[in-house]
Amino acid sequence: MNDKLNELKRLTTEIYDLRMSVALLEWDQQVNMPPAGGGARAAQMSLLSRQAHELGVSEKLGQLLEDLKPLYGELPPDSDDYALLRNVYRSYEQQQKIPVEYVSEFTQTTGEAFGVWARAKEKNDFASFRPWLEKIFDMRRQYAGFFAPYDHIYDPLLDDFEPGMKTAEVLGVFKVLRDEQVELLRELGNRPQVDDSFLSGHCDTDGQWALCREAVALIGYDLNRGRIDHAEHPFTTNFCRDDVRITTHIYEDNMMSAIFSSLHEGGHAIYEQGVAKELDRTPLGTGASLAIHESQSRLWENLVGRSREFLGCFYPRIQERFPRRFGGVALNDFYRAVNRVEPSLIRVEADEATYNLHVMLRMELEIALLERRITVADLPEIWREKMSEYLGVEPRNDSQGVLQDVHWACGMIGYFPTYALGNLISAQIWEQAAADLPDLAAQIGKGELASLREWLTGKLYRHGAKYYPSELVRMITGGGIDPRPYLNYLNRKYRAVYS
């Protein structure tokens, strides 16, 4: 039996390495590749994805899983081997439902659509991207069909990013969030606005790079096992626990954007770097789900990065680097400025009090498109209407509207809700960390983040994908996903910032 288990491990590591090779090509596409390389790159990524998929549904793997069933029944449920088998059974059954030709066509389509989207966004030309987006949504409908019957057409798509999560549950949680967040927004809108005028203005690129590196090093991102590069849309990728890379986007006239997005991606990266060595290059050697991942990027970006304590320690470095711009700005004014609430057009630039509304808008559009209640051609206009309804602002062009995010071009439908779920989980985990580490605030104020990081590693990071998201949330907090801690955090923090 042990021979068979070792054979299974060898095979799943091969699949993992193929997938990580695709991820490396993808990283290169977004960081280094000249635009003309898109066609060939899409074909190369498609080839490797197909090989990974073929191995993942191969008779050989199926036979091994069949042979290992008795062992699976005997293993202790908290052992790594049990979790590995559970994970492989699940993905084998899922992948078996997806035809090889579909995988290849979808990878090819999204590979090319990425280049089309990037040019469309640059030229504000939604019409050129429209046929690609139509094809992507058609193909995602087809994908959901492979998993029929389902309660909701969105369920199979959501399940890819958030194992076990149902559309109805998310919509229920979002309903509570939307009502209370809109109410808070209305209340803050009636108070005098915070001045953040000193945040915009030219800050040279070299200085910004240095601060981004300092910020992520301070929270514990290990640059010996990682690197930072520039990309149109910031992201994190990993090829093993010792090679976890982040990207950022520097705006010369908006310095804090790159710093907070580096902290965000740094949070994702710390999670990946913290996965136990024994799980590396196995299907369990990565974060548990997107929402759990996002809970960590948001925790480091917002609960740590935008806190008075962290800024008390980091702001002097900003002042030192840019003395003419910030030398005369007091810490309290800076703290309030980076926590200013203002409905805006761009999701990745949105503040904590409005962010979830951007996410809900996208999820509603995705569902309406899948259900054919609207068409892709309608999107730019409906986008404007919904932005106006939820946030009271309207994009002047599609580059700032429907074309702003990369996700749909990459075929990632069902991804957006995980951002908001991540916010909720971040506050739930934070409450627990604060209870277990009584001097947490004081430590952060001194720039000592090791005990928080170690607490998170022990409770969460080291487990990788060994447990399902709902199991992890329960293990750490004792309950399920709950919007209350996040709403309490928002209400407390922003009523004080605007007091």
The residues annotated as belonging to the active site are 265
Secondary structure class of 217 (helix, strand, coil): helix
Candidate ranges 3-11, 291-299, 339-347, 390-398; the one touching Zn ion (CB under 5 A): 291-299
Closest distance of CB 304 from Zn ion, Å: 15
- Judge residue 66's burial from the number of C-beta atoms within 10 Å of its C-beta, 0-12 exposed, 13-18 middle, 19 or more buried: exposed
> Rounded CA gap, 287 and 309, in Å?
28
Residues 6 or more apart whose Cβ sits within 8 Å of residue 59:
none
Closest distance of CB 476 from Zn ion, Å: 19
Comparison of 297 and 354: residue with beta carbon closer to Zn ion: 297
- Judge residue 32's burial from the number of C-beta atoms within 10 Å of its C-beta, 0-12 exposed, 13-18 middle, 19 or more buried: exposed
Comparison of 30 and 297: residue with beta carbon closer to Zn ion: 297
Comparison of 208 and 297: residue with beta carbon closer to Zn ion: 297
Comparison of 330 and 346: residue with beta carbon closer to Zn ion: 346
Closest distance of CB 490 from Zn ion, Å: 19
> Rounded CA gap, 124 and 398, in Å?
6
User: Which ranges constitute the DSSP H helices of 38-166?
Assistant: 38-56, 59-67, 69-74, 80-96, 100-123, 126-146, 155-161
Candidate ranges 154-162, 295-303, 362-370, 475-483; the one touching Zn ion (CB under 5 A): 295-303
Binds Zn ion by CB under 5 A, chosen from 237, 297, 418, 428: 297
Residues forming beta bridges with residue 254, ordered by sequence position: 200
Comparison of 247 and 297: residue with beta carbon closer to Zn ion: 297
Closest distance of CB 64 from Zn ion, Å: 35
> Rounded CA gap, 422 and 472, in Å?
13
Distance of alpha carbon 313 from the chain centroid = 27
Question: What value, to the nearest 5°, has the Cα angle with vertex 162 and ends 476 and 266?
Answer: 65
Q: Is 261 in the site for Zn ion (CB under 5 A)?
A: no
Candidate ranges 147-155, 273-281, 292-300, 447-455; the one touching Zn ion (CB under 5 A): 292-300
> Rounded CA gap, 368 and 74, in Å?
45
Closest distance of CB 131 from Zn ion, Å: 29
Comparison of 268 and 463: residue with beta carbon closer to Zn ion: 268
Closest distance of CB 100 from Zn ion, Å: 31
Find the residue with minimal CB distance to Zn ion.
Answer: 297
Q: Are 274 and 462 in contact (CB under 8 A)?
A: yes
Candidate ranges 86-94, 174-182, 293-301, 404-412; the one touching Zn ion (CB under 5 A): 293-301
Comparison of 161 and 498: residue with beta carbon closer to Zn ion: 161
Closest distance of CB 267 from Zn ion, Å: 8
Residues 6 or more apart whose Cβ sits within 8 Å of residue 204:
252
Per-position x/- string for 174-193, each x denoting binding to Zn ion as judged by CB under 5 A, each - no binding: --------------------
> Rounded CA gap, 467 and 475, in Å?
10
Q: Under the rule (CB under 5 A), what is the footprint of Zn ion?
A: 297
